[in-house]
Structure 1
């Protein structure tokens, strides 16, 4: 496989892109940046395409097919690129349907059907169907970003296939185009309809006639070798050509991985969910015991039966998810059994299910969960499995490859024991999870792709694992498709007769082998084109940040992204990442897209100029440095840190953008402005303001914040302390934002802390956490500032004095950025341990203090850096103790994000991010509702885009305190 711009048959990427562009194929991209972004999916493989096409309408697809056919270039259709098997990759032209070709064209609630374009995200269909009390039954864990086209390509199933089947079971009709341009509408057909189509004598008729003859010649093989159990997904689904299955060509096409035709539209079946659900969590001594219990549990009417091994849950570090795991029944493995039906019938169903489970050997306990919020938290663990499992508990990398095998459920216990023995024999490990109720197991394994020996072990292991699953009557794939990961192993599962049938089926549809070649038939080798290979040496890139979790290896840090694509989700529930992708829906603006480009930069093949890469710089431009991915990405990709590292090297010794000087150096400039705040405010609000913004690289649409007449530090050092200080000293971190722009926040913090019994101190001199220099990649200066700050605070910290921050971004910097930036510095580590948010100090470290009671409603915007580091748990507890009816918005980042929203060229994205949830929620709130936002950026965005203003938690409490010190 060629990885340069010179591709298949000597074709040049630029020439292919130009031909596609001239033929009106929609948006066409042949540049190195786009080709690098689409060189990988969620699998182990890497294929650099010649060009990427983003069709906007049906004709664009047909035009692209015509151009590729003329040039002899293969086509790979792609949805969200979340496949773990490699079938979303191609070295020709990639058609990305997810960007534009994603409409819901019809929904008939009476017929319970919907017609969609292939790029529609499943959750978008679910949202529309829910308005009519319906849903699409096949729902994989990637439902927030996977597309219907991708689900059809792989025959995706998901957790609820026990009740509602696979994608194939929910397909009514498909409209497709072959590589040669024949457009065919597919569905079930009676013999009369087959005869009528054949009699027409056109291309469609010839295709149907050939497929019918194929089926009639091989009836016995189709009945005895294919479709033997629900999760037999490997190969082509030729069983749907049987007359008793009504020669359903649409269902036969499902699971064909884009090798037969390109989907133009799909009509799908919708189902009505039960009125109520209950989750029954069953604990077991190990995963094998859980597998043994499955056949008995399946005698109950279940919506889902999912399994988790402790090796998966042991990896979780995110506080909220960790808390959900810690609440599970004590066990080494768990089954999540979901029941559905009338609410009053669920307790009896659950009781019967628990009784059956407790009769199984190895059952250690159970719990019935009816609270939907808690149930969602537990399901999230299962949904994040594909990402969580990419790291073993010791931090080693783990990979797909044997990701998706399935056996009949009554064989699951036997298969899992022998599979575990096989892992031990090869000295491999992996966390097992998956659809236990249908015998389908997912596992990521710590293969070593960096050495020849490790790759040889990978190849040998896969062959033995394939023989093992075949011996249990199973399927190499249970829902993810074969792709490059398993296609070459199909002869170990099927005999030569079935393999020959698959090849004939492919040839009838695609005689030119122009659609996704190398998948299912005439397969690419399982160990070819690996993303990590001993034959490819990364560039030697020294870094400032230590990247300890990735052994100090920046290339390894960037390949931490395995492509599960959670960052491409448009769903805001509980997650921050990725704000810019939610606005643009452009792959380059996702965490994954950026990580892909950075990884390709480390390889030096497609992205060839290392730290100086303009492609990487441009992809990072809309990264808000919100840190959301560091908490929300199941694999812990920290794009904010990657961006800072890149910008440091990219601009080293070069002129930087103006905003890096104005906003990167804001703490220092603010100190100068504080000497004459009136003059500065007059200038920034005068007719000179547009010119000043232009010179400073600031968006023309933004109002510049006004400097306070008096800084907080000036006020504090002139005041007399209040309160009795009985709890001892606390060091209040005086951040530059509140000190210079909103000192009332810090004043309120002093009032609250003194009321709680603390003696408030501030650092000597004027200290800074260096955040603005970090986010703009000026790491040399940031280090010097960080050293000075940690040294200045060291005496207080070593004396056991807690440090309280009121600005979440600065508090997060003290907690997480400084220890990384000053790797090995004991003072930085101690400062990190000593730093608290106001709510953390009051809730967890101030026993006996009672906050004032406030009968009010509020909505809260969690600052993205706080979300990533400490979470909102302490704040929620404190608000509840105050009697406030608070709603925490699932809004992600406010969109301003420090310097990002002020920089020229970012305004539209910044506002659009805020408009997704936060700003409409603020505008619709009643006048009596308090708008809580601790972040200076969040309050600024609210003030500039709505008639309301945000209130800091400290201000909320301080305003309710009695006028005199009556602390108890």
Structure 2
């Protein structure tokens, strides 16, 4: 974009190689963590925006000294530098062509927290939720709370001047920054403080003093435009916030640097202010016919001093319910658009109950006022904590849910961050929706309505020349529209690559020249995050969807019916929102939680797969070692298919990749020893005694090593074939016609026949007598090892026996599967791999035991008395594929007083934890949730329906004799001749 103000600051950098960079750093900073491999560059070529810029290298600094070393080397070689926190930028602020500095890997410490001054000193990579957890111990919190709070970093929030759901009360990040630790473009460490800049090393004092002097001069020469054009509305984030440098603002340099998006300095640490947590809050949920009607009521709501006023439309709610089940969104009143209004109160002189009651009463009064205004369809005060959590999760997952909707349509950021005065919001939304209609575009609307900030993802076509031209025309008109309403292009995400070009619509030439001059003062060579804000890159440059003309088709065995272009569309579901990088909440992504490495996140894996499809950085397709390595620590837990807002299903992608990668080639040994376990088990159970004796001796250790199995694992004992026959013979006699089929999976038949008998008795007692069906297999072990051709043959036999089109007497009955992973394979993978109507029919009939008791049990049925406390390990596949049926909820309904659920993967995950090279990761994952729950065990029982989960429990609890019951064994009503195995397990637990 030539001829624009500020173009003089764009430098034509001489190309420097990664080898040159590594040589310089090897001399100046030996031991610094810098990576240049193809897989790593692929992971960091993207953030959560539309853009793709493969870096030259990625560095993981451990200190400000490391940052200085990298910046000095880049300054010497003319290599650009981009700072990155959680990589959740939706405007393209966190990708760059040179070195990407990932602060989130190591620089994540809270250095000091002072409750007296209500401040905290943090490193740039601290995750917001980690800071808030520490502050909560002192009754404090950090005010701004973006929806990405579980993975965004303080450095990233400072870079974008982030706000969040409660910005009505707490405003932007800039309002809470006291001072910054910074590294300049030439590698000088300094401190930005209210009143000026200070060098960390006196030897650099003259350099920093000169920088401050130049900055003061620019402000003095431009007082009028700074006072009239900047800081006009609360959410004016676009451009540089130079109003903080005005004399009447005390030349507040740290607050002026907030929102500069890493284009002026690199922030390595900060001192931030904290605010008290409220004593009580109330959530009011309001339903409207549309978002414009909702916006009309915002000015009245603001009169009630809310902490949050959040809005969203029906598309997001519909997507959440479709992806996670009808029960994933509870408590919404009627309407097609909703506002969440949160009110709070402090303790005052009364007690907490008084405050809670007063806040709730105020919420009811506000509801009465809004009803009287006539726009409200329905509204309610949400009393239940569970409903509050459910509702806030819908709003927090808005960006991801809006990206891929129920009909499979895709939408994109680019104009997701405009803001106006709240009083102008309804008028702006009315005109904006008309603009969308005029351009024949659709948008999913949500956002911080109380602050006038609207997030919208639009169904742009970024993949074609015509689509990009149409998007450019729309964005120009949208920029004119929002500025005509007195608004700003960005309200919290920053300008980045998405809106930098449009700043000329919002600001006059003099202000743009001032921004460029400020950039030159800090970064004369233009090395810090080039192409952003000053001398911006075209908004349609470096688009991720601008695919190369030679892109190949990618046929797969697995079907992806909800993705219009198959595997490529499925992989493209990852838009980078980064929920997989959360350290708590949900189950995704266990390997990332164990390693804290982007490579091991769902997002990191998806990005490498996307690069494989492009064929530019990852060039060897299905044979790629980089993709294989990125997928290596994926536990195939399937949690991402539920927890990821866009529905990424990495377990399925991994299975397909492994199938193609090893096609016609030798596989890892564990693929044979564990992948073919069901077939081996059918033979082993014929002579279980001798086989078990063999496996317990020296020959077993040799076989373990040859099979690629971790030597630390004790191989589970096979049950003799007659044990299964005896178990089934002991099930209740068929006094009634069967109302279900009991699918006795390979794991249950080979290792836990008593579970089959217990399941049969529980179902009979619950009024659902079941006909046992043994000798069939779901194909799970072949799927998880990528042997999909074998899996399909196994599944075809299973469907032929179970399908309604067969002549069997029970061919339309519900199918109850004791093993959750096998149930998930039948319900999810079966139709994906076979693609037949018969497979679909079978899949729709599949239930876990929990789901069967929820849906099929006779009204009023109750199990025998249960213990007061249960430690529960829910199988990841059950969590992912049967989201409306939680064993936790069932146990509570049956009267268990305390259900201590290990919220996360057990770490064994089928074959994964048995494989020698994965044992350490398996144990690290177990340490996250399961081991702590077992360590706390003093009484009660452990319940784990999954055979792998139960095996991991036994492994972890071996020294204490802890073992796990299947839910069926816990609920088993008898008979009096209960199996010895069940009795021993109950006693051991």
TM-score (norm 1): 0.95
Separation (CA, whole Å) in 1 of partners of 2:476 and 2:884: 48
Local SS of the residue matching 1:389? helix
2:771 paired with 1:761 = yes
Cα distance in 1 between the residues matched to 2:606 and 2:242: 39
Among 700, 710, 713, the residue aligned to 1:699: 710
Show the 5 A alignment for 1:584-595: 584-595=595-606
How many Å apart are 1:414 and its aligned residue?
0.6
Q: Partners of 1:613 and 1:200 in 2: how far apart?
A: 48
Q: CA offsets per residue over residues 818-876 of structure 1, 9 Å max, x none?
A: 011101x1221111111112222223123243322325221221110000111363534
Distance 1:521 1:881, change over 3 A: closer
1:678-717 CA-to-partner distances (Å, cap 9, x unmatched) read 2222222223343222110111211111112445543256
Q: Which moved more, 1:735-744 or 1:511-520?
A: 735-744
The 3-state SS of whatever aligns with 2:755 is helix
Q: How far did residue 244 of structure 1 move?
A: 1.6
Q: In 1, Cα distance between the equivalents of 2:13 and 2:777?
A: 55
Note the 1:133-152 alignment, pairs <5 A. Answer: 133-152=139-158
Provide Cα deviations, 1:589-621, integer angstroms capped at 9, x if missing partner.
000000000000001000000000000001101
From 742, 761, 777, give the equivalent of 1:751. Answer: 761
* Distance (Å, rounded) in 2 between the aligned partners of 1:502 and 1:721: 79
Q: How many residues align?
A: 950
2:921 matched to 1:915? no
Choose from 401, 405, 409 the match for 1:388: 401
Tell me if 1:12 matches 2:12. no
Q: State which of 207, 210, 214 in structure 2 corresponds to 1:210.
A: 214
Alignment of 1:239 with 2:243, yes or no, is yes
Distance in 2, matches of 1:109 and 1:721, equals 63
For 1:99, which of 105, 116, 135 is the aligned residue? 105
Specify the alignment match of 1:4 in structure 2: none
Change (3 A) 1:423 1:272: same
* Deviation string, structure 1 residues 749-781 (Cα, Å, up to 9, x no partner): 1222233344432336x2110000001000000
Q: Deviations 1:552-588 (Å, cap 9, x if unpaired)?
A: 43222111100000000001x2x11100000000001
Deviation at 1:319, TM superposition (A): 6.7
Whole-Å Cα distance in 2 between the matches of residues 204 and 854 of structure 1? Answer: 70
Aligned to 2:256: 252
Query: Which string of whole-angstrom CA distances, capped at 9 and with x for unpartnered residues, describes residues 876-912 of structure 1?
Result: 4542343222425252111100000000111111111
Cα distance change on mapping 1:550 and 1:712 into 2, 3 Å: farther
Q: Does 1:399 align with 2:408?
A: no
Question: Which residue, out of 171, 176, 190, partners 1:170?
Answer: 176
Match of 1:317 among 296, 299, 321: 321
CA distance in 2, matches of 1:318, 1:873: 15
- CA 888–786 in structure 1, closer or farther in 2 if over 3 Å, else same: farther
How far residue 534 of structure 1 moved from its aligned partner, in angstroms, is 5.4
**Shift, 1:250, TM fit:** 0.2
Partners of 2:736 and 2:857 lie apart in 1 by 11
How much does 1:729 deviate?
Answer: 4.4
Map Cα deviations across residues 444-469 of structure 1 (whole Å, 9 max, x no partner).
Answer: 11011221111111111111100001
Task: Quote the residue 2:793 is aligned against.
Answer: 784
| Residue 857 (structure 2) aligned to one of 846, 849, 871 | 846
d(CA) in 1 for partners of 2:811, 2:653 = 35
Q: Does 2:971 match 1:957?
A: yes
Structure 1 equivalent of residue 878 of structure 2: 866
Aligned to 2:983: none
Which of 647, 651, 656 matches 1:645? 656
Q: How does 1:411-810 map onto structure 2 within 5 Å?
A: 411-533=424-546, 535-571=548-584, 573=585, 575-710=586-721, 712-716=723-727, 719=729, 722-723=732-733, 725-726=735-736, 728-763=738-773, 766-794=775-803, 795=806, 796=808, 799-810=811-822
* 1:728 shift after superposition: 2.5
Provide, for residues 141-174 of structure 1, a one-character-per-residue CA deviation record: whole Å limited to 9, x for no partner.
0000001110000000001111112110000000
Q: Determine whether 1:37 maps to 2:50.
A: no
Q: Measure the CA separation in 2 of the matches of 1:199 and 1:603.
A: 49
Change (3 A) 1:202 1:408: same
Instruction: Pick closer, same or farther for the CA change 1:834–1:472 going to 2, 3 Å.
Output: same
2:904 pairs, out of 851, 870, 892, with 892
Residue deviations 1:99-145 (CA, integer Å, cap 9, x gap): 11111111111111111110111111111111111111111000000
Go from structure 1 to structure 2 and tell me whether the alpha carbon gap of 1:599 and 1:117 turns closer, same or farther (over 3 Å shift): same
Please give the TM-score of this superposition, normalised by the length of structure 2. 0.93
The 8 Å contact of residues 587 and 593 in structure 1, kept in 2 or not, is answered as yes
Alignment of 1:81-160 (within 5 A): 81-160=87-166
Residue 215 of structure 1, CA deviation: 1.3
d(CA) in 1 for partners of 2:778, 2:903: 27
- Cα pair 2:236 2:491 within 8 Å, conserved: yes
Q: Distance in 2 between matches of 1:895 and 1:723?
A: 39
User: 1:346 maps to what in 2?
Assistant: 359
Q: Which moved more, 1:885-894 or 1:813-822?
A: 885-894
| Aligned-residue offset at 1:797 | 7.9
Does residue 931 (structure 1) correspond to residue 942 (structure 2)? The answer is yes
Report the Cα distance in structure 2 between the residues aligned to 1:361 and 1:881, rounded to whole angstroms: 40
- Matched with 2:84 is 78
Q: Quick one: distance in 1 between partners of 2:117 and 2:670?
A: 56
Which deviates the most, 471-480 or 918-927?
918-927
Task: Tell me by how many angstroms 1:186 deviates.
Answer: 0.9
- 5+ residue gaps, structure 1: 2-6
After superposition, what is the alpha-carbon deviation per residue over 1:385-410, rounded to whole angstroms, capped at 9, x for unaligned? 01001024421110000010001111
Q: Match for residue 62 of structure 1?
A: 68
- Range with greater deviation from structure 2 (620-629 or 346-355): 346-355
**8 Å Cα contact 1:286/1:362 also seen in 2:** no
Q: CA deviation at 1:254?
A: 0.2
2:767 and 2:858 in contact (8 A); partners too: no
Contact 1:123 1:144 in 2 (8 A): yes
User: Does the 8 Å CA contact 1:546/1:552 hold for their aligned counterparts?
Assistant: no
RMSD of aligned alpha carbons: 2.2
Shift of 1:221: 1.4
1:923-968 alpha-carbon deviations (Å, 9 max, x no partner): 21222x121110111111111012311111100111567779xxxx
Aligned twin of 2:953:
942
Rounded Cα–Cα distance in structure 1 between residues aligned with 2:550 and 2:244:
47
The alpha-carbon distance between structure 1 residues 144 and 711, as it changes in their structure 2 partners (threshold 3 A), is farther
- Cα distance change, pair 820–247 in 1 and its aligned pair in 2 (3 A): same
- Which position in structure 2 is the counterpart of 1:281? 285
Structure 2 gap ranges (5+): 2-11, 346-354, 979-989
For the Cα contact (< 8 Å) 1:392–1:431, is it kept in 2? no
3-state SS, counterpart of residue 660 of structure 1:
helix
1:215–1:8 Cα change, 3 Å: closer
C-alpha distance in structure 2 between counterparts of 1:419 and 1:159, whole Å? 22
Checking the alignment, whether the CA contact within 8 Å between 1:118 and 1:147 is kept in structure 2 is: yes
1:357 and 2:370 equivalent?
A: yes
